[in-house]
Structure 1
Amino acid sequence: MTTEFDIWQLLAGIALFLFAMTQLEQALQSLGGRTLASYLQRQAGKRFNAVIGGIVTTALLQSSSVVGLMVLAFTGAGLLSLPSALAMVFGANLGTTLTGWIVATLGFKVEIFRLALPMIAVGGAALLFGKNRWSIAGRALLALGLLLLGLYYMKDSVTGLQQSIDFRDVTGLVRWQFVLFGLVVAAVIQSSSATIMLTLTALNAGIITLPDAAAVVIGADLGTTTTLLIGSIKGSAEKKRVAAAHVIFNATNATIALALLPQILHLIEQLGLHDPLYVTVAFHSTLNTIGLIVFLPMTGLFARRLERLIPDDETREARYLSEVSPDVSDAAMAALEHESSLLIARAVQLASAAFEPMLERPAGRMPVKHKRGIRAQRRRSFEELYRANKHLGGEIFEFAVRLQASALTEEQSARLEQLLSSTRRAIRSSKSIKDIRHNLIEFSGPASKITHVYLDRFRQSMEEFLGDLFALREKGSDDVTFEDLAAVMKRQRERHDDIHRSVYRDISDGGIAQTLVFTLLNVNRELMNCQSWLVLALGRFHLNEGQAEDLQQLPR
């Protein structure tokens, strides 16, 4: 044990602690991340359950940052409402206080150097020689040992600090300056746990008083909000809302706790806790509990205010992908499902918008279930809608490339390929109708009688096709079968062939000018292509890979 302050030992201890925290978070996420992600989704129905989900998941993963990432991902994917997401973030704030209890108990009440060495030895061996989950478990145990070793180095480095430095200047600081100190340190090292651990070390060494330590804890909670703030600068509106809520939540907590600091500390001591270390971590837990009591009853109102304060970002076409990290594969896949279905719905809308006036929406339901409506797209011109669809398709593919670099299951990889195939076909459908849009507009203007006749035929063909699509889910079921799509494909082919034969009959009768023949045949062919690609896009979206391939082989 050192008797003088060793700055390098302190810095090495901090670095080791932060490295170990990162390794522990990653190992725990690998061990149970998917299970915990599913658990979070199951807790989303009720706000109290969402709070419990945030507490439990953070306590198990030992990182509110990881839980925050999951919550952001699921919110962006449409799997969590904003009120549920806020409740989980508030719960995560309380869950992260468990780290302080562990450090206060193991770090200062147990001879941690002797405890850390076996963990490092056993964990290192399991990491090197174990397989699969044993190796990951070894990584977690090794990280925990390194964390305790880093804590030991920090604790040991400041043992002689009180004798080597005059702390009268430090103890003379006013309360808000300790809050500022905690805020700056937590913002720089991006960890409230590490900041609180440093605070407990200084408190244990007698460097600062209990009220000053509590003030640093308040600042540490405020400092961690910078992580979400930085991450939301170029993020979606939903990310900005969650980040803003995190700041407001912690700022409110800090204001209340700072105003009532002596009373809260006195109350904790009245409950039987007298050890300054335990009082400090109990204060941290109380701080976040107060926030929960204040905010939980008005989470819905709070979410609505945030939605008005921070409106949706209209510059992106993808409403889900920008709010999800590809590292959270379950949420990322759910987001892709939503965006792919939205693209198909908008391709259907584009097909009806190609005509002047726009075709009426058929009875029934859109052939895909899309979470967010497309009514706002009606305000766009055909050209704007087409460009928007292309942009959305590009965003889907860009996100998919990043998602493919993450650890996907075999089932997820197969589904990803299906969604990308569906996206390609929906874009091709839009391209086909866009290529003949100018012809359809010309036919609706002053022209020969025959062009008006064929324009009516083309309108009728598209109306009947869209009617077939909207009948696919009319019975209330979301299941679309191979037989359903094959029947739609057959009918659209028959309509094409019927128009094709009519053109050749009119040629024989001399009713069509030679300059018009190829235009009519081209419009008829591209109309068929638009419809065929849409059916194939639906096949890739709704059917399994084998059935989708069989649909592709049908005559069209």
Structure 2
Amino acid sequence: MEEKFDYWEFLAGIGLFLWGMSQLELAIKELGGASFKNLLHRFTDKSWKGILVGIGITAILQSSSLVTLMVLAFLGGGMISLRNSLGVVLGANLGTTFTAWVVATFGFKISVADFAFPFLAIGVMTYLFMNSRPFLKNTGIFLLGFGLLFLGLDYMKLAIEEYATAVDLSELQSYGLWVFFITGIIITAMIQSSSAMIVIVLSAVNAQVIGTDHALAMVIGANIGTTFTLILGAIDGSADKKRLALGNFAFNFFAGVFCFFWIDQLIDISIHFFNVVDPLMELVILNSLFNLIMILAFFPFLPAIEKWLTKRFRRYVPKGRSRYIKNVPLDVPSVAILAFEKELEWVLKDTLKLVWKIIHKHKRPKKDASVWKKITFQPKDLLQDYQNLKNLEEELYLFAMFLQEKNLSLDEATLLNDLTQTMRSLVIGAKEFKDIVHNLVEMENSEEPFVVDILDRLQGEVKDFLTVFEDYVAMGTADEAIMQSVKAKLKNNYSSLIQLLYTQLKTKKTDVSISTMANVIQQVFSGLELIWGAIGSLHKQEIAPEERL
């Protein structure tokens, strides 16, 4: 009697396998996601390091999509170059083959269901009864995912084994390996998991439904099909996402086509060089070999590939004045916050440039201009610089507002609030200087030496402040004593100037009113104090950013 293929059992197996993979991804992300993001951030300054990190993280996380999401976040935030992110993607393709090794080693040599049941039982109980303890809860999810993964494998294996004796592939095989190659691409693109596809292929090989050459053709196709996950996500994505998706597709497509034409030679290598007789182990070795060939083939050309990709999709670069946050997905809050912080470094630089231009390089109105024009004078370039700063502030505020809607930890929410306050201090400090431009011009045009002397003193204060700031940043460490010392100095110098102003003008009037000069002095020192406080806050947060990832 001819066996009927139990489609529902087979589809249930795929569903359980994919669900198990997603639960494993969720658990590992919660248990060690910060550590993996820290590793990815710190050790991807070179392409070869990116490849090694991509292999290691993906082998543990078993989710190339999660690793790719991290890479996109760092790439958009300017914390990793396109070249090095391509290296991580290359490594991730090899790291994801670890699932096939586990399945081929254990999945077909023991009773898979019996192996899965203890993990399912312990995982479910831990998850249900330890729900208030995050570590134990996520450990339970991990065990549950592991059990579901192998239970799904058991369903797929049984469904294929029951039908194996009744399957006649002679007609299908007559079309050649191309049909298996294309089938691997299509099925993997549909189920969005190369790991699940390779497990299906391993099950078919174990049941002797297909040979090693057909299986390898499907595996090569699966490696190409899995790139469609990133391609779909890049359709409405930023330019960086499109570039990374195109690079990933190009790697797998060209390497896949090359290896497809050399399938027989690759099989001969696995038999003679590795001396493998188990068809399952032979297939996983060939799968890893394919991805290793891809790394070796493209690694020397990563600089040229980066240059070529950078010229693509320029019209998809997000609009806005920000440099980092406009490219960072909010799906990884810790990286988004780090990008927000890097953006503030530029806000600080723009603020200091504006202050310097206002104090030293403002343009005077013409000598024959009216008194009213001199008093209300506001240079267009300075106003535009300040407006640019305000536009950037608004963009950052909107980013922070959307980020706050994500599932932030208490530490992340506190840090985001602190960074937002720091940004506000910088912009208010810049406004203090912007509002006195016309007063500075009035003082500069004064005929009284004393008024010009006050202006010179204020310019000296700003110059000294910028020098102290440069020295403080060069130290590379936060120093509370220096912070307090500079604050005290600003306060003392403010009091001295105000005292000098009142002493000199008690009996003598000038062409610039005492209230105007007092206001200028007050706003200059107020602005410097706000900016210095923001500098201290930013520099303190920069000391160990990896602790926040």
TM-score (norm 1): 0.80
Residues 190, 501 of structure 1: CA spacing in aligned structure 2 closer, same or farther, 3 A cutoff?
farther
The structure 2 residue matched to 1:474, chosen from 468, 471, 476, is 471
Output the CA distance in 2 between the equivalents of 1:435 and 1:185: 64
- Is the 8 Å Cα contact of residues 51 and 91 (structure 2) preserved in structure 1? yes
Output the CA distance in 2 between the equivalents of 1:44 and 1:139: 30
AA of the residue aligned to 1:497: I
* Counterpart residue number, 2:351: 347
Task: Report deviation, 1:17.
Answer: 1.4
- Is the 8 Å Cα contact of residues 359 and 459 (structure 2) preserved in structure 1? no
* Counterpart residue number, 2:143: 141
In the alignment of these two chains, the number of paired residues is 516
Output the CA distance in 1 between the equivalents of 2:230 and 2:493: 51
Output one character per residue of 1:431-462: Cα deviation in whole Å (capped at 9) or x when no partner.
3444455x369759xx9756999689657624
Residues 410, 503 of structure 1: CA spacing in aligned structure 2 closer, same or farther, 3 A cutoff?
farther
* Counterpart residue number, 1:417: 417
Deviates more, 1:477-486 or 1:162-171: 162-171
Task: Report deviation, 1:308.
Answer: 4.6
Residues 15, 466 of structure 1: CA spacing in aligned structure 2 closer, same or farther, 3 A cutoff?
farther
Residues 461, 177 of structure 1: CA spacing in aligned structure 2 closer, same or farther, 3 A cutoff?
farther
* Counterpart residue number, 1:302: 305
- Is the 8 Å Cα contact of residues 432 and 523 (structure 2) preserved in structure 1? yes
Residues 451, 421 of structure 1: CA spacing in aligned structure 2 closer, same or farther, 3 A cutoff?
farther
- Is the 8 Å Cα contact of residues 104 and 278 (structure 1) preserved in structure 2? yes
- Is the 8 Å Cα contact of residues 461 and 495 (structure 1) preserved in structure 2? no
1:228 and 2:230 correspond: yes
- Is the 8 Å Cα contact of residues 222 and 251 (structure 1) preserved in structure 2? yes
- Is the 8 Å Cα contact of residues 58 and 92 (structure 2) preserved in structure 1? yes
Output the CA distance in 2 between the equivalents of 1:84 and 1:273: 35
AA of the residue aligned to 2:80: L
The SS at the match of 1:473 is helix
- Is the 8 Å Cα contact of residues 503 and 521 (structure 1) preserved in structure 2? no
5+ residue gaps, structure 1, are 360-379, 545-556
- Is the 8 Å Cα contact of residues 355 and 459 (structure 1) preserved in structure 2? no
- Is the 8 Å Cα contact of residues 17 and 153 (structure 2) preserved in structure 1? yes
AA of the residue aligned to 2:193: S
Residues 115, 404 of structure 1: CA spacing in aligned structure 2 closer, same or farther, 3 A cutoff?
same
Residues 349, 226 of structure 1: CA spacing in aligned structure 2 closer, same or farther, 3 A cutoff?
farther
The structure 1 residue matched to 2:319, chosen from 304, 307, 315, is 315
Output one character per residue of 1:51-78: Cα deviation in whole Å (capped at 9) or x when no partner.
2222121111111222222233334444
AA of the residue aligned to 1:472: F
5+ residue gaps, structure 2, are 364-379, 542-549
Deviates more, 1:426-435 or 1:14-23: 426-435
Output the CA distance in 2 between the equivalents of 1:459 and 1:205: 89
Residues 436, 486 of structure 1: CA spacing in aligned structure 2 closer, same or farther, 3 A cutoff?
closer
* Counterpart residue number, 2:491: 490
Output the CA distance in 1 between the equivalents of 2:448 and 2:518: 12
The structure 2 residue matched to 1:540, chosen from 521, 524, 537, is 537
Output the CA distance in 2 between the equivalents of 1:221 and 1:27: 25
Task: Report deviation, 1:336.
Answer: 2.7
Residues 330, 448 of structure 1: CA spacing in aligned structure 2 closer, same or farther, 3 A cutoff?
closer
1:61 and 2:58 correspond: no
* Counterpart residue number, 1:289: 292
Output the CA distance in 2 between the equivalents of 1:391 and 1:40: 32
- Is the 8 Å Cα contact of residues 188 and 225 (structure 2) preserved in structure 1? yes
Counterparts of residues 38-57 of structure 1 (less than 5 Å): 38-57=38-57
TM-score (norm 2): 0.81
Output the CA distance in 2 between the equivalents of 1:190 and 1:502: 79
Task: Report deviation, 1:221.
Answer: 1.4
1:187 and 2:184 correspond: no
Task: Report deviation, 1:322.
Answer: 3.6
- Is the 8 Å Cα contact of residues 321 and 336 (structure 1) preserved in structure 2? yes
Residues 495, 541 of structure 1: CA spacing in aligned structure 2 closer, same or farther, 3 A cutoff?
farther
Residues 140, 54 of structure 1: CA spacing in aligned structure 2 closer, same or farther, 3 A cutoff?
same
1:461 and 2:465 correspond: no
Residues 282, 504 of structure 1: CA spacing in aligned structure 2 closer, same or farther, 3 A cutoff?
same
- Is the 8 Å Cα contact of residues 127 and 138 (structure 1) preserved in structure 2? yes
Residues 171, 384 of structure 1: CA spacing in aligned structure 2 closer, same or farther, 3 A cutoff?
farther
Task: Report deviation, 1:341.
Answer: 1.8
Output the CA distance in 1 between the equivalents of 2:22 and 2:88: 21
Output the CA distance in 2 between the equivalents of 1:417 and 1:522: 31
AA of the residue aligned to 1:88: V
* Counterpart residue number, 1:371: none
Output the CA distance in 2 between the equivalents of 1:67 and 1:290: 21
Output the CA distance in 1 between the equivalents of 2:453 and 2:78: 41
Counterparts of residues 10-49 of structure 1 (less than 5 Å): 10-49=10-49
Deviates more, 1:157-166 or 1:474-483: 157-166
Output one character per residue of 1:455-484: Cα deviation in whole Å (capped at 9) or x when no partner.
896576246314313323327313453224
Task: Report deviation, 1:494.
Answer: 4.5
The SS at the match of 1:317 is coil
Output one character per residue of 1:381-432: Cα deviation in whole Å (capped at 9) or x when no partner.
4444333322332333334345445666655544333222111111222334
AA of the residue aligned to 1:320: Y
AA of the residue aligned to 2:192: Q
Residues 9, 455 of structure 1: CA spacing in aligned structure 2 closer, same or farther, 3 A cutoff?
farther
Residues 27, 539 of structure 1: CA spacing in aligned structure 2 closer, same or farther, 3 A cutoff?
same
Task: Report deviation, 1:81.
Answer: 3.9
Output the CA distance in 2 between the equivalents of 1:289 and 1:383: 56
The SS at the match of 1:352 is helix
Residues 148, 342 of structure 1: CA spacing in aligned structure 2 closer, same or farther, 3 A cutoff?
same
Task: Report deviation, 1:235.
Answer: 4.3
Output the CA distance in 1 between the equivalents of 2:451 and 2:229: 61
Output the CA distance in 1 between the equivalents of 2:496 and 2:173: 87
AA of the residue aligned to 2:475: S
Output the CA distance in 1 between the equivalents of 2:189 and 2:510: 81
Deviates more, 1:109-118 or 1:311-320: 311-320
Output the CA distance in 2 between the equivalents of 1:289 and 1:393: 46
Deviates more, 1:136-145 or 1:171-180: 171-180
Output the CA distance in 1 between the equivalents of 2:44 and 2:76: 14
* Counterpart residue number, 2:249: 247
Output the CA distance in 2 between the equivalents of 1:450 and 1:29: 69
Output the CA distance in 1 between the equivalents of 2:216 and 2:291: 13
- Is the 8 Å Cα contact of residues 4 and 158 (structure 1) preserved in structure 2? no
Residues 43, 509 of structure 1: CA spacing in aligned structure 2 closer, same or farther, 3 A cutoff?
closer
Counterparts of residues 327-338 of structure 1 (less than 5 Å): 327-338=331-342
Please, what is the CA RMSD of the aligned residues?
3.7
AA of the residue aligned to 2:67: V
Task: Report deviation, 1:28.
Answer: 1.7
Residues 314, 402 of structure 1: CA spacing in aligned structure 2 closer, same or farther, 3 A cutoff?
closer
- Is the 8 Å Cα contact of residues 71 and 88 (structure 2) preserved in structure 1? yes
The SS at the match of 1:318 is coil
Deviates more, 1:348-357 or 1:53-62: 348-357
1:273 and 2:276 correspond: yes
- Is the 8 Å Cα contact of residues 318 and 326 (structure 2) preserved in structure 1? no
Output one character per residue of 1:291-325: Cα deviation in whole Å (capped at 9) or x when no partner.
11112234344334433556694723332324444
Output the CA distance in 1 between the equivalents of 2:234 and 2:156: 33
* Counterpart residue number, 2:546: none
Deviates more, 1:304-313 or 1:210-219: 304-313
* Counterpart residue number, 1:553: none
* Counterpart residue number, 1:397: 397
The structure 2 residue matched to 1:202, chosen from 195, 201, 204, is 204
Residues 137, 434 of structure 1: CA spacing in aligned structure 2 closer, same or farther, 3 A cutoff?
same
